[in-house]
Structure 1
């Protein structure tokens, strides 16, 4: 049985990069795999947060999943903290993870920066919890962005170490799935920086809650260069802002950058942005409208999460019982 596990942190608003790099692909995957989609709220505790904002962000990410096309009846959709197996397995796996492996994780070094000594332990051990998220459900495939690929490699290493230590073949080796040309959507203000929820400028990203007018305004204000669109992808890749807008257009229309250039090569950006506005508004406005509808009924979102949590716990509890037996913990 092939099983997908993936999730997003409920930190700040989800944006176009989250949709094109993950959500859009998840919608397609749900027709091919058994899928478990999680709002990874325990991971969100690794950064400074306000409790009341975190609760609303959990609901907003859930609404984004559903509005983008994730079917909560067909798939398991829940928030991580409601399944205690994540924290339990995190500890067990932490006891089989050498410090040297964690020291190689580049994302901790990037996020901690110059204040490494003041960084919280959760940020350092984040990859072990991510491994627990995946392995708790014995997931076989994990859709990841390039920035998470190293963490998935660690999850595979931990699974292998656990299996060897206890002489079992319990955990599978989860395979990464990096899909499409939109795995890395860049800022609308700087084509060399990834689109981010934490960027100070709201014009650097298109939020999934933006209405049609706001989407159009942000596309028209996106940074470009004075030259018309080139004819080849090779020439396009030398121009980061142009490359980013063409990549977005390609991802929204399920085409390649080469196909977009075949249609728009030689166009000035004023014309191309007009075409991109039409595509972005037609694709994203329905998601925004559905998100806002869902967010107006918090009880319905909570019901979806509760039902998903119950289903996730059925799988997690069974696997945790087996894991406790393997490691020698007594279950009287």
Structure 2
């Protein structure tokens, strides 16, 4: 029996990669039998930076296909795209009026994404965390699986819930708890162990795309940057070796082991032998998902039907919560 309600989502901005799988999608699969799960393709978040409309539609289907190929059950969980459920946008506006400018000014992700061009960034990019809070609280989700880079946004969601409850003297919203899971919550680039694996990196060799075939996966791992030393004999030995730390973390996550287990198994080995075993493991785990994704992308009507059904079910859950919020705020309703 479910012990709470999960909400999480992935942006449809193309090139889903190993970091998305290990940091998010695989965990979604593991959680679906212990929680009531709502998994969103957050297309409204995607347009905080301009997207080509045709590519956005394709990328939205690709994320949904990845959910399905990885093993998320569309009848057990809810799979939908954000823009099909208007409660997200309506609640986000209310939260725009609850969140404080000072809170948003402290968001490190906005500073990183806007960079030196802050004045030219979209308003949507600035208030992105308020929409994320609305995504979660439109369903009164009790838990959110998050990577390290999303902790700050979840803390802001918690602040918004607390302030809303305080301002309106209510206990409407739960204070959502984070779920940090797995050995590879932050997967780094195969070309630079100090940089996060990213779909925007110009080098395709920096990442393993979920849609890569077996030969491509193996080739990228064999070419991954390493240092000249044998693998360490203790976890402490990984501290100043970012590439070793990253590759051993990926192996640990794919094999459902701890980093300590992996270090013990490969202590003193050469990178070449380790990378061959990592390549074999990655192909074993990822190639079937890639093949199923390609099959699903060739059947867009099926994917669209899953998203439409999920949107209907998500809207039915959000509607009474949004009605409750409107009553609390003082909006007249039909």
The bucket for the TM-score relative to the shorter chain is: over 0.9
Q: Deviations over 1:304-325 (max 9, x none)?
A: 0000000001011111111111
1:189 Cα deviation after fit = 0.2
For 2:224, the equivalent position in structure 1 comes to 222
In 1, Cα distance between equivalents of 2:262 and 2:229: 16
Q: How many residues align?
A: 332
For 1:161, the equivalent position in structure 2 comes to 163
For 1:323, the equivalent position in structure 2 comes to 325
1:105 pairs with one of 72, 89, 107: 107
For 1:194, the equivalent position in structure 2 comes to 196
SS at match of 1:235: helix
Question: Does 1:127 find its partner at 2:129?
Answer: yes
2:38 pairs with one of 36, 39, 52: 36
In 2, Cα distance between equivalents of 1:283 and 1:163: 44
In 1, Cα distance between equivalents of 2:82 and 2:246: 33
SS at match of 2:79: strand
For 1:266, the equivalent position in structure 2 comes to 268
Q: Deviations over 1:187-232 (max 9, x none)?
A: 0000000000000000000000000000000000000011111100
TM-score (norm 1): 0.99
1:48 Cα deviation after fit = 2.0
Question: Does 1:203 find its partner at 2:210?
Answer: no
SS at match of 1:234: helix
TM-score (norm 2): 0.98
Unaligned runs of 5+ in 2: none
Question: Does 1:60 find its partner at 2:62?
Answer: yes
Kindly report which structure 2 residues correspond to 1:1-332, keeping only aligned pairs within 5 A, or say none. 2-332=4-334
Unaligned runs of 5+ in 1: none
SS at match of 2:47: helix
In 2, Cα distance between equivalents of 1:117 and 1:261: 47
